[in-house]
Structure 1
């Protein structure tokens, strides 16, 4: 099964992806934990280009092309081989993030994102877990991490609010794939909900 975690910056989705991987491994499942952008050598190089530097470094159109290129390499070299080997793939972000951050936030480019996705990727996760979070709290958490990959956090609270609304709209658009979990609680409580969800999905 191919599982993605989505959410605004600082929502805790990366932590929950790791916790689910640990939980499933403890149950004897083979798990590949990966991330986007990144997850393969070529995609990690693109990650360094898109997540660092000035917020206006790239146009939204250029970002869509870069993210799609990274995703294609990730799919070919990491995701599809792992699925073919019978492993569970857990990915911290996938195409839904591009639909939001490039397709919605910086112009009405969702159609371009979906066209490129259909042409070059052609695969959705089997299950997408959306960790929902108050935008102000998420941004505070994200900025508190520090580090060099803060380009999208630097767009500010307005982007976070827009992204939360967009992700919830996506969950309504794809109800068979999305499950929404409240991320505004203790990490262990959220992880328990995710584990229970995995059990219901027969992982």
Structure 2
């Protein structure tokens, strides 16, 4: 297996790892306001998250700065909670206008924080190679694929719930975002740093 394949698989597994479900929750919170017909918007959304994630992965791996993992582990569920709470607060606006553009900024900015959460581990795996660009690129492509898998499954479930159980979009946003916010609160309590 080539280095590229190894890091591609590592990136995919990172986002799909059920034991590190914080990333899955964040992607679901971001996607909760979209419908299956919005797949292009969702693709842009996960790409914005990947870009943010990639920036901090690269900066930490290149020793531009270091991060305190205790803070980052607390901030990750905070970003999940903020995204879910905003969905709940603005769910009516999502139905009448395209308020979802704000989610692109959430994805990009909060992706920076989520990237820090895995950066020290990735830095240890990459080591002191002269060039880490190929490994970072492969990892982030794998990350993107993992997110597309999550979003596709989530959008299919949302479509089926709407079609066969007649759950309204407003109720779907409220139910999913409330569940994600509740889990995020639990994670914040578990990872509090004080």
TM-score, normalization: structure 1? 0.31
TM-score, normalization: structure 2? 0.32
Q: More strand per residue: 1 or 2?
A: 1
* Bigger Rg, which one: 2
Q: More helix per residue: 1 or 2?
A: 2
